[in-house]
Amino acid sequence: MSEVINVADIFGEDVFNDSVMQERLPKKIYRDLKKTIEEGKELDLATADVIAHEMKEWAIEKGATHYTHWFQPLTGVTAEKHDSFISAPLESGKVLMSFSGKELIKGEPDASSFPSGGLRATFEARGYTAWDCTSPAFVRHDAAGATLCIPTAFCSYTGEALDQKTPLLRSMEAINEQSIRLLRLFGNTTSKKVVPSVGPEQEYFLVDGEKFFQRKDLIYTGRTLFGAMPPKGQELDDHYFGTIRQRIAGFMKDVNIELWKVGVSAKTQHNEVAPAQHELAPIYAQANVAVDHNHLVMQTLKRVACQHGMKCLLHEKPFAGVNGSGKHNNWSLTTDDGRNLLDPGKTPHENIQFLLVLTCILRAVDKHADLLRESAADPGNDHRLGANEAPPAIISIFLGEQLGDVMEQLIVTGEATHSIKGGRLDTGVRTLPDLAKDATDRNRTSPFAFTGNKFEFRMVGSRDSVAGPNVVLNTIVAEAFSEACDVLEAADDFGLAVHDLIKKYAAEHQRIIFNGNGYSDEWVKEAERRGLPNIRSMVEAIPALTTDKAIAMFEKFKVFTRAELESRAEIKYENYAKAINIEARTMIDMASKQFIPAVIKYTKSLADTVIAVKEAGADASVQAEALADVTKLLAETKKANVRLTELVDEAVAMEEGEKRARFYYFDVVPAMEALRAPVDKLEMIVDKEAWPMPSYGDLIFEV
C-alpha cells in the first residue's frame, strides 16, 4: 500500500517562510524584515545577524551542514558555491557553527568565470551575490545532504547585472511605480503596490536512462540530431491527457512531494501531445519567486527522473517530427490588496480602467514586438516556433470574441456600448447539466493570448528562464503606462482624455490583434501586409536588444544600461555559436565513429549475400538493388560529413560575435540538415540489429 501524503502537512516544510519567521524571529526583527520585503527598505547588519542566526539554527534542525547563495548567471542554469556552517575549532576539540548577517546578505563568487559579454575581464574577478529577501530561503535535500539555499542576485564589482534576477527586480520596480501612477488617476488611494504575477507551465519529455546513454546526441546536446520517425507518432492524439503510465505516475508523485516541501505550488500534471511528453503547472506567484520556483521545477524534474532510471529532456525540440516543448508564461498585474488589473469584469465595455490597461498593453506589444520575440529566442526554439505546433515567430495578440468586439466598437464608432455575453452551453444530454459558457473561445496558435484575467505568452522555450520574457513584459508595459499617465495627468478633463486615449491606442495598434489561425500560411502573408515583424531565428532576433528604442526605454526605467544590453547581445551571439558548434561536432563524431562504420559493415554483409545468391545460381537483383541503395546513401553521408567538417573548421577560425553566429545559422545549420537526411534514410533500410543506437520508437514509446 502506497504511503498516504497530506499535502497540507508537508507543503513548505523546508522553506524559511513567513510563518517560520514569525515563530523564530523577535517581533521587532520580524517587523523590520517585513518592512524591507514590502517597502524595499535597507536591512541593517544587526538585524541581518539575528535573521542569519535563526535561519542557520532552523536549517541545522533540517539537517543542513552547508549554505549557498543560489543565483542565476547568464549561463541558462543556476549556480551555487557551498560553504559549511563551521566557523572555527574550539580548544575543547569541538567546532563552532556560525552564520553571520554579512554572509547572509552578500557573497563573492568569481565574476570573470561567468558570461559577462565584456563587462568583466579575466583579471577583474570580483562579483557580488546579494540576498533577495522577497524570495524565501529553503533547504534542499539531495545526494549532497541538506543545503540551505539563499536566493540571490548577482552583480559585478562595478554594479552591472550579471544575472537574470537583477533586471527582473528592476523591471518589477518599474511596473509597480507606473501602475500606482495609473491607479491613482482612477481614484485608487488604498493600493500601495502592484506586482506582476506569473505562472509558468513546464513541458518536458521523459526517456529511459539506459537508452539515453546510448545516444551521444542526447548526452552532449539534449536533443536527437539524427532519427527517423517510427510508424506511429502523435497522429491519433491518444497521448494528450491520456492515462498516465505507472512508471511516470510514480515519478510525478515524487516530483510533487519534493516541490511541495520547498514551497512550489505544483498543481496540474498531465500527458502532453507527443508520446513521452508531459506537463507540470504551478499556481501563480510573484514574478521573481515564480522564476526561482521554475528553476527548482526544472532541477527537480531532472533529479527525480534519474532516481527513477529515466532522463528528463527539457530541450525545445528533442525529436524531429513530433511536438516540441514550450513554457507558457501566464502574466498578470495584481495589487497588494488583491485587485487584478487585467480582470475585465462582467461588462468590460464599461470598465474604463481595464480598457486603458488593455490598450496600453496593445501599444506596448505592438511597439516592442521585436523585443518580446527576442526574449523567447534560443537555439532550440528555432526548431519549434512556427512549426505548426507552437506559436508562429510573428508576435500578435489574441483577445477573443468579447474583447475583440469591444475593440472593434472603439475603432469604428469611437465608443463601446455593449459586451458579448457568455450564455449557456446545452450538452444535449438530460442527465448532464447545462454549462456556463465563456464569452470567447481560446486560441492555442496565438503567441500572446488574453485568457480571462491574464496574458499567456506561449513562445518561451522549455529550457529557458522565464526571467527574460517577464523583464521585457514588465518594462514595455511600464513604458506604455508612463506615456498614458503623462497625457492624463496633464489633461483638464480626465474622463474625456482617457476616453480619447483608449480610442487612439485601439485604432493605432489594431494591427497587432489577430484572433485567427496563427499556423496558416495566409496569416504569414497577412502579417507582412500589416507590417508585423516575422523574425525566424535567434540570430535575427538578437539585434532587437540594442536598437535605439530599446536602449532608451530600458535606460529610462533603469532596468538595463546600454553596456548591459550590448553585453547581453554579445553573450547571446556567443552562446548560439557555441551551441551549434557542439551540435555540429557531435554529428561529425557520430557519423564518423558510429554510422559510417556500421553501414560499411552492413554493406559488406549485403555484398556477401549478393555473392552467395549468385553462386547458388539464383536471381540476386533484389539484394543487389538494396546494396546499391545503401552504397549511394553511404556516399552521400560521407560527402556531407566532409562538408560539415570543413564549415565547422571555418566557423571556429572566425572571431566571436554576430558574424560567426550568422555563419553558423545560415551555413552550418543547413549542412547539418544535409548530413542528417541520408543517415535518417539509412536507418529505415539498415537492419535494426546493425544500427548503432536506439531509435525514436525505442525512446518515446518504451519509457
pLDDT at 39: 81
pLDDT at 120: 67
pLDDT digit string, tens, across residues 552-561: 999 999 999 9
Residue 646 three-state SS: helix
Look at residue 2 and tell me if it is in a domain.
Answer: no
Look at residue 1 and tell me if it is in a domain.
Answer: no
Residues 466 and 200: beta-carbon distance below 8 Å: yes
Smallest CA-to-CA distance from 197 within 104, 283, 94, 308 is with 283
- Among residues 99, 127, 162, the one where a domain terminates is 162
- Among residues 162, 180, 205, the one where a domain terminates is 162
Q: Is the pLDDT of residue 679 over 80?
A: yes
pLDDT at 108: 85
Q: Determine phi and psi for 141, rounding to 5 degrees.
A: -105, 125
pLDDT digit string, tens, across residues 499-527: 999 999 999 999 999 999 988 889 999 99
Residue-wise burial string across 349-371, b where 16 or more C-beta atoms lie within 10 A, e elsewhere: bebebbbbbbbbbbbbbbbbbbb
Same domain, 156 and 263: no
Same domain, 152 and 203: no
- Pairing relation of β-strands 82-84 and 64-70? antiparallel
Q: Is the pLDDT of residue 629 over 80?
A: yes
Cα distances (Å, whole numbers) of residue 534 to 370, 396, 466, 523, 527? 9, 10, 22, 11, 8
Same domain, 366 and 400: yes
Q: Is the pLDDT of residue 1 over 60?
A: no
Amino acid at residue number 501? L
Helices assigned H by DSSP within 542-561: 548-556
pLDDT at 2: 61
pLDDT-based confidence at residue 117 (cuts at 50, 70, 90): confident
Cβ within 8 Å of residue 544, ≥6 positions away: 370, 371, 373, 374, 535, 550
Q: In CATH, what number is assigned to the domain containing residue 600?
A: 1.20.120.1560
pLDDT at 121: 64
Same domain, 102 and 61: yes
- Among residues 162, 185, 207, the one where a domain terminates is 162
Interval 600-620 mean pLDDT: 93
Q: Is the dihedral of CA 201, 207, 210, 213 positive or negative?
A: negative
How many CB atoms are closer than 10 A to CB 191? Answer: 17
Looking up cell 530600458 gives 554
Same domain, 108 and 78: yes
Same domain, 181 and 330: yes
| Stronger pLDDT, 573 or 392, i.e. the higher one | 573
Look at residue 568 and tell me if it is in a domain.
Answer: no
Interval 607-613 mean pLDDT: 93
Same domain, 261 and 409: yes
**DSSP 3-state percent helix, strand, coil across the chain (nearest 5):** 50, 15, 35
Interval 211-216 mean pLDDT: 98
Residues 513 and 359: beta-carbon distance below 8 Å: no
Interval 461-488 mean pLDDT: 97
Q: Is the pLDDT of residue 142 over 60?
A: yes
Among the residue ranges 197-201, 227-231, 574-578, the one predicted with the least confidence is: 227-231
Q: In CATH, what number is assigned to the domain containing residue 59?
A: 3.10.20.70
Grid coordinates representing 588?
561529425
Grid coordinates representing 71?
543565483
> Directed axis angle between helix 494-508 and helix 352-367, to 10°?
40
pLDDT-based confidence at residue 237 (cuts at 50, 70, 90): confident
How many CB atoms are closer than 10 A to CB 118? Answer: 11
HSE, side-chain direction, 13 A CA sphere, residue 81:
13
Interval 145-165 mean pLDDT: 93
Write down the mean pLDDT value for the chain.
93
Look at residue 570 and tell me if it is in a domain.
Answer: no
Q: Is the pLDDT of residue 122 over 60?
A: no
Domain residues for the domain of 394 are: 171-560
pLDDT-based confidence at residue 437 (cuts at 50, 70, 90): low
Look at residue 496 and tell me if it is in a domain.
Answer: yes
Total domains in the chain come to 3
Q: What percent of the chain has pLDDT over 70?
A: 96
Same domain, 299 and 316: yes
Helices assigned H by DSSP within 326-399: 352-367, 369-374
Look at residue 565 and tell me if it is in a domain.
Answer: no
Q: In CATH, what number is assigned to the domain containing residue 228?
A: 3.30.590.10
How many CB atoms are closer than 10 A to CB 146? Answer: 17
Among the residue ranges 239-243, 305-309, 495-499, the one predicted with the least confidence is: 239-243
pLDDT-based confidence at residue 233 (cuts at 50, 70, 90): confident
Grid coordinates representing 645?
567538417
The set of long-range contacts for 350-355, using a CB threshold of 8 Å and a minimum separation of 24, is 350/419, 352/186, 352/498, 352/499, 352/502, 353/182, 353/183, 353/186, 355/406, 355/410, 355/416, 355/502
Same domain, 430 and 539: yes
Look at residue 567 and tell me if it is in a domain.
Answer: no
Looking up cell 459558457 gives 437
Helices assigned H by DSSP within 189-313: 209-212, 216-221, 246-261, 287-307
pLDDT digit string, tens, across residues 347-393: 998 899 999 999 999 999 999 999 999 999 999 999 998 766 777 89
pLDDT-based confidence at residue 76 (cuts at 50, 70, 90): confident
Same domain, 537 and 676: no
> Directed axis angle between helix 548-556 and helix 562-590, to 10°?
120
pLDDT-based confidence at residue 590 (cuts at 50, 70, 90): very high
Among the residue ranges 33-47, 132-146, 255-269, the one predicted with the least confidence is: 33-47
Q: Is the pLDDT of residue 141 over 70?
A: yes
Same domain, 114 and 180: no
pLDDT at 89: 74
Same domain, 584 and 556: no
Look at residue 550 and tell me if it is in a domain.
Answer: yes
What DSSP designation does 326 have? B
Interval 405-412 mean pLDDT: 88
Interval 406-422 mean pLDDT: 86
